[in-house]
Structure 1
Amino acid sequence: MLDVDKSLPKDPDELRQFTALLLAEVKSQAVLIEKLRHQLAGQRHHRFGSSSESIEQLQLALENSEIAVAKMTAKLRLPDEEPKDKPKRRPIPDHIPRMEVELTSGDDDCAQCGGLRRLGEDVTEELEYILGRFIVNRIIRPRFACSGCQAFTQATLPSRPIERGRPGPGLLAHVLVNKYADHLPLYRQSGIFERDGIDIDRSTLADWVGKSTALLEPLADAIGRHVLAGQTIFADDTPVKMLAPGTGKTATARLWAYGRDERPWGSDAPPASWYQFSPDRKGQHPKDHLSKYQGWMHADGYAGFEDLYRSSGIHEVACMAHVRRKFVDIHRAQGSAIADETIKRIAQLYAVEKEARGSPPDRRIEIRQAQAKPIFDDLEVWLHIQLPSISGKSPLAGAMRYALTRMARLRPYLNHGILELDNNTAERAMRSIAIGRKNYLFVGSQTGGRAAAIAYTLIETAKLNGIDPQVWLADTLARIPDYKINRVDDLLPWKTGHPIS
């Protein structure tokens, strides 16, 4: 899969070669889309003999492939692919309320010789979504001609999120939040809109999502820079299915979450979650993501992180929640007294953290040294004593060995007030993906996966800051087409967002 997010080559020959590869990738996706549409049509024709689940999977495959194509074409401003069966743009129904906005150039007189007379007007209809309802913005631009020199004048049409597109920023924000925050696949949204008398095909919605995420990508990058500027971050990953073209199967890709949340130690730095997509779980991916980061990283025991700890300025902090979870599972299955005692001792550590939460780093160190360190040390000694008394092949012994290994790497939290006892910040960042994964099942390609990562970065960061993601995205999509790239940080949700009421 071609990585369209990398910098473009500067050599003309290399650029031509890169463009040819990109066009080939777009055509490959187009062939896949045609194939899926054919399969879907067949399933619908024989739907009484097919499960609804199979039809839904084909719908989801189509929408994710179409998002990928839209993002690729928008990224390099390629002309849109026009499939033979692309749905025609239908008129917006008359029952949708209209709001007229008349734009004029601001000059009542001709600059050369005098007055202007109105010749006619151009009207652009923009379908918008506000406050739970559809409206149509009728943007009217009168055409004037000078009665003396016949010079023409007309106001310029304002920039819009999708050039020559119909959707307003509020509608685009609504579709993005529906898909990535409320877990509504696009074909379901299409059905919901139809009940309001709005006929928008799924493929059109996919085009909007792909182009919107391409437009918003610089803002997601800015959130990533903010995350990596922290002294400590939280990292986790989760599997997502990705279509493997030509095989008829799916491969296991990954979404990575990197979080920054300094509220537990009283910092006023805004919390944020930055998501990245990769086609597999190779350790090179987090190494690339974190190449510019130096500091502490809370994470699980994933072996792919080991090279980071050895070869970079990243210091590991393990996670007590992972340790506790293993003993909870064993206690539920076996009722083990040792597992129960371990859980109780870990609970004492969390009680100390509850007291320390919100205090400045120095005070947190004092509390932990006085209260948590004795509990932590006793738990470590107690596990060493208990381990020889049970079968080395038992699940309990495995949990105890895991705990002892991870506790050695968790000990830094006792001496640094900016660190946490667990990696729950990153795990919470994965919750929305885990829920949505049940609905969208898979991404269509690496480009589609990156589009999802951009959307999750924006929406989840807004939510972390108590900002309404739909209101903020609508405002941002209206402003970003004309915004200077070197000032994109001014659009971050904690600077411009609207608090959730």
Structure 2
Amino acid sequence: MSQAVADLPENLESLRAIIAAQAAELAEANRRLHTRDTLIEKLKAQLALLRRARFGASSEKVAREIEQLELALEDIEASAGETAPPPVRKAEAEKNKPARQPLPDHLPRIEEVHEIGDCACPTCGGRDFLKAGSVVSEVLDYVPASFRVVRHVRRKMVCKGCDTEIKAAMPSPPIERGKPGPGLLAHVLVSKYCDHLPLYRQSEIYAREGVELSRSTMADWVGQANALLAPLVETLRAHVFAGNRLHGDDTPVPVLDPGRGKTKEGRLWTYVRDGRPWADETAPAVAYFYSPDRKGERPRKHLESFRGVLHADGYAGFRHLYEPKKPGEAPAILEAACMAHARRQFFDLTVAGPAPIADEAIKRIGEFYDIEATIR
């Protein structure tokens, strides 16, 4: 008998009072869970609506609202994880248990074997056991990134005939006479441009590991890496524009405006070559361009060497690309209008209220999507 059971009173009225108090606590816990679940569903619905509007005119403001809602959702779910859930029946728990995704097969497996030490059987007290197999469970763990020093030891030899000294060759460093190896340089660049982690924050993170890398030093590395990677960027762009079908779009990006204490709006232009939906085996790739404005001359310059079909939205700056340069000539670029942008206009009508014509349009566009899915 456990100590908790032994401490229960023998008086029937006292037991009823304990049961009634526990029932009230359980009801209150269920009420809080219901309130929390309702709030979570409300936040998820708001997130879904904001994500649909993310690429509208106020995308930057919407993105900030999405971030705030996601943070609120994280806080609620984290707080729920701090409190123990109310007891539920085993059958109900199995029914409501969400299906867990299997851990990825490509990850390395580190096996830790837990042996049974000197013990006695909890039932009969015996100490003679037979092997009965193993129980295997997997947890997902993370090994933090770490620094290392690579020592390049170059062997030397001296010619017996003329005393000429020769040394073994070593890989060319990404930055001449620089300290960063290619792995560190790639990490700094990916952290800055893909994960939006400024150099001063990276410097603080590395300092916690006992490695002093100043922001100015890493800024110099970024500049030299930019020059080093320029030929690769040009080759990538040439590959993208060598295709005969492109997807093109642009998006606003906030850009620091020193001296004014705020940001200004720039544009990031994206051109995608990807023929995988129609079984093209050419490697897909993306070319990016930045401009401080959204003038029509920007895509005209980007696509001056392209010949083929451009799949894009209805941005007015693209229109002149579809016009022939001389009367009677075929245009160098053919327009493929974006069905997703057209569908969005009908969808907005259905959100505002009953719109049978818009519903029918969405249904027919969905049939186009079904055909595309079959082709793929």
Question: If the length of structure 2 is used for normalisation, what is the TM-score?
Answer: 0.55
Q: Give the structure 2 partner of residue 318 of structure 1.
A: 337
Q: Letter of the aligned partner of 1:210 in structure 2?
A: G
Give the 3 Å change call, closer, same or farther, for CA 261–146 of structure 1 in structure 2. closer
Q: Give the structure 1 partner of residue 206 of structure 2.
A: 193
Q: Distance in 1 between matches of 2:368 and 2:186?
A: 42
| 1:290 maps to 2:303 | yes
Q: CA deviation at 1:154?
A: 4.4
Q: Letter of the aligned partner of 1:218 in structure 2?
A: P
Q: Distance in 1 between matches of 2:226 and 2:282?
A: 25
Give the 3 Å change call, closer, same or farther, for CA 171–259 of structure 1 in structure 2. same
User: Secondary structure of the equivalent of 1:206?
Assistant: helix
Q: Letter of the aligned partner of 1:325 in structure 2?
A: R
| 1:229 maps to 2:242 | yes
Alpha-carbon deviations, 1:365-394, whole Å to 9, x = none? xxxxxxxxxxxxxxxxxxxxxxxxxxxxxx
Q: Distance in 2 between matches of 1:158 and 1:231?
A: 38
Alpha-carbon deviations, 1:199-246, whole Å to 9, x = none? 212232222222212211111111111111111111001111223455
Q: Which has the larger radius of gyration?
A: 2
Q: Distance in 2 between matches of 1:179 and 1:333?
A: 41
| 1:258 maps to 2:265 | no
1:329 to 332, 341, 348: 348
Give the 3 Å change call, closer, same or farther, for CA 154–307 of structure 1 in structure 2. same
Q: CA deviation at 1:353?
A: 1.2
Q: Give the structure 2 partner of residue 206 of structure 1.
A: 219
Higher helix share: 1
Give the 3 Å change call, closer, same or farther, for CA 153–346 of structure 1 in structure 2. closer
User: Secondary structure of the equivalent of 2:147?
Assistant: strand
| 1:164 maps to 2:183 | no
2:365 to 346, 352, 355: 346
Q: Distance in 2 between matches of 1:179 and 1:167?
A: 16
Q: Give the structure 2 partner of residue 137 of structure 1.
A: 150
Q: Distance in 1 between matches of 2:307 and 2:215?
A: 43
Q: How many residues align?
A: 228
User: Secondary structure of the equivalent of 2:152?
Assistant: strand
Identify which of structures 1 and 2 has the higher relative contact order when contacts are C-alpha pairs closer than 8 Å and 6+ apart: 1
Q: CA deviation at 1:141?
A: 4.2
Moved more, 298-307 or 325-334: 325-334
Give the 3 Å change call, closer, same or farther, for CA 212–338 of structure 1 in structure 2. same
Q: Distance in 2 between matches of 1:183 and 1:248?
A: 20
Q: Letter of the aligned partner of 1:342 in structure 2?
A: A
User: Secondary structure of the equivalent of 1:306?
Assistant: helix
User: Secondary structure of the equivalent of 2:200?
Assistant: helix
Give the 3 Å change call, closer, same or farther, for CA 153–285 of structure 1 in structure 2. same
Give the 3 Å change call, closer, same or farther, for CA 349–162 of structure 1 in structure 2. same
Q: CA deviation at 1:302?
A: 0.8
Q: Letter of the aligned partner of 1:348 in structure 2?
A: E
Q: Letter of the aligned partner of 2:232 in structure 1?
A: L
Q: How does 1:372-391 map to 2 (within 5 A)?
A: none
Q: Give the structure 2 partner of residue 417 of structure 1.
A: none
Q: CA deviation at 1:198?
A: 1.7
Q: Distance in 1 between matches of 2:268 and 2:286?
A: 12
Q: Distance in 2 between matches of 1:326 and 1:210?
A: 43
Q: CA deviation at 1:339?
A: 2.6
Q: Distance in 2 between matches of 1:196 and 1:234?
A: 43
Q: Letter of the aligned partner of 1:319 in structure 2?
A: C
Q: Give the structure 1 partner of residue 374 of structure 2.
A: 355
User: Secondary structure of the equivalent of 1:204?
Assistant: helix
Q: CA deviation at 1:249?
A: 4.2
Q: Letter of the aligned partner of 1:184 in structure 2?
A: L
Give the 3 Å change call, closer, same or farther, for CA 352–139 of structure 1 in structure 2. same
Alpha-carbon deviations, 1:21-58, whole Å to 9, x = none? xxxxxxxxxxxxxxxxxxxxxxxxxxxxxxxxxxxxxx
Q: Distance in 1 between matches of 2:349 and 2:311?
A: 25
Q: Letter of the aligned partner of 1:204 in structure 2?
A: T
Q: CA deviation at 1:149?
A: 7.2
Moved more, 153-162 or 208-217: 153-162
Question: If the length of structure 1 is used for normalisation, what is the TM-score?
Answer: 0.42
Q: Give the structure 1 partner of residue 73 of structure 2.
A: none
Percent of aligned pairs with the same residue? Answer: 54
Q: Distance in 2 between matches of 1:225 and 1:275?
A: 12
User: Secondary structure of the equivalent of 1:174?
Assistant: helix
User: Secondary structure of the equivalent of 1:140?
Assistant: coil
Give the 3 Å change call, closer, same or farther, for CA 333–206 of structure 1 in structure 2. farther
Give the 3 Å change call, closer, same or farther, for CA 267–152 of structure 1 in structure 2. closer
Q: Distance in 1 between matches of 2:316 and 2:195?
A: 33
Q: Letter of the aligned partner of 1:356 in structure 2?
A: I
Q: Distance in 2 between matches of 1:131 and 1:169?
A: 19
- Structure 1 alignment gaps of length 5 or more: 1-129, 358-501
Q: Letter of the aligned partner of 1:332 in structure 2?
A: V
Q: CA deviation at 1:255?
A: 1.0
Q: Letter of the aligned partner of 1:171 in structure 2?
A: L
Q: CA deviation at 1:176?
A: 1.9
User: Secondary structure of the equivalent of 1:256?
Assistant: strand
User: Secondary structure of the equivalent of 2:149?
Assistant: strand
Q: Distance in 2 between matches of 1:302 and 1:264?
A: 25
